[in-house]
Amino acid sequence: MEWVIEVKNLVKDFNGKRVLHGITFQVVKGDLFGYLGPNGAGKTTTIKILLGLLKPTSGKALVLGEPLAKNSKIRSRIGVILESDGLFARFTAFENLDFYAKIYGLKNNAERKRRIMKLLELVNLYEYRNVKVGHFSRGMKRRLAFARALINNPRVLLLDEPTSGLDPEARNLVRNLLTKLSKEEKITIFLTSHDLNEIQKICSRVAILMNGKILAIDTIDNLIKNFSEPLVEISFIDENESQRVYEYLKNLTYVIDCKRYGEKISVILNKDQSKLLQDLLEINARIREITKPRKTLEEVYLELVRRGC
């Protein structure tokens, strides 16, 4: 397995206070990994340690197999968006990207210009290429930061709240772009976000962090599956039928809980739903619809955070 990001037993103390308690996770090539957690959970600290801006107290944090702190060669293969957009207010959008492109060693003038124009078009800022960034709105700056992070054609993107400050249209643009970069170009993306809907839409795997500890780490489907109760909702043709079935269900041993709301019954089971279906057929229950409601990532997250507290 090719690990692009590897964090092992990562511990970080600030002034004697432990903010990361031995975190371990790996991100494979082409993965779009979401890092979730409430404010102060340690998300930004983890990203800054990965980037070599903070030193780990113990443990290791590697990107492309190396710690980034003293490795400018590896740093030239990553793209970054942090809390600050990293832009110069007195420079135009074009000049900002031109500066970073030169730093990354894009020497050929024509090629550099072509790449900058392409990225400005990608983030819908081509018309504003000659406007000083100081005159940009928060959202425009964030979009330009996104173009800046892509200027070196990175193999890894480390993004701290990349869509904060963006309007819904721009969020959608960034979301689609991240999905495309991950799927088509196999760029590994590590991002933190408070927007759980966004994470659910684009990420393949997530880690949920709380008070410097990872509470859960898995694919979104597995997380939802593992944290969803075996709940089944059944609609009947009328209330009399639902009452009849309710009386029957509440006496079954594998039914943990059973609630009736008019024509509907919610059943929590301690085993697979196939046995329930079999029993319902045996009593000739007149069913309109059976559904198995899934939890959202947000519900799983809130439950985990509540438990973590």
Chain residues that interact with another protein, rule: CB under 8 A = 14, 48, 51-55, 68-69, 72-73, 75-76, 78, 80, 82-88, 90-91, 95, 99-100, 102-105, 148
At closest approach, how far in Å is the CB of 78 from another protein?
Answer: 7
Quick one: which of 25, 28, 15, 29 has its CA closest to 47? 25
Count of Cβ atoms closer than 10 Å to residue 89 Cβ? 12
Nearer to another protein, 96 or 242 (CB): 96
Nearer to another protein, 105 or 168 (CB): 105
At closest approach, how far in Å is the CB of 48 from another protein?
Answer: 7
Count of Cβ atoms closer than 10 Å to residue 289 Cβ? 10
Nearer to another protein, 79 or 305 (CB): 79
* Separation CA 17–CA 28 (nearest Å): 31
Nearer to another protein, 34 or 52 (CB): 52
Would you state the structure tokens that stand for residue 285, as one six-digit string?
């229950």
The b/e string for 156-186 (b: 16+ C-beta within 10 A; e otherwise) is bbbbbbbbbbbeeebbebbbebbbebbeeee
Nearer to another protein, 101 or 249 (CB): 101
Count of Cβ atoms closer than 10 Å to residue 285 Cβ? 19
Tokens 């102060």 locate to 40
**Helix ranges (DSSP H) in 104-137:** 109-122
Nearer to another protein, 78 or 234 (CB): 78
Quick one: which of 85, 86, 50 has its CA closest to 188? 50
At closest approach, how far in Å is the CB of 94 from another protein?
Answer: 13
111 backbone dihedrals φ, ψ, rounded to 5° = -65, -40
SS3 assignment, position 309: coil
Of how many residues is the chain composed?
Answer: 309
* Extended strands (E) in 155-263: 156-160, 188-192, 205-210, 213-219, 231-236, 255-261
At closest approach, how far in Å is the CB of 95 from another protein?
Answer: 8
At closest approach, how far in Å is the CB of 190 from another protein?
Answer: 13
Nearer to another protein, 115 or 260 (CB): 115
Nearer to another protein, 75 or 260 (CB): 75
* Separation CA 200–CA 177 (nearest Å): 15
Would you state the structure tokens that stand for residue 139, as one six-digit string?
């959202």
At closest approach, how far in Å is the CB of 74 from another protein?
Answer: 9
At closest approach, how far in Å is the CB of 145 from another protein?
Answer: 8
At closest approach, how far in Å is the CB of 277 from another protein?
Answer: 55
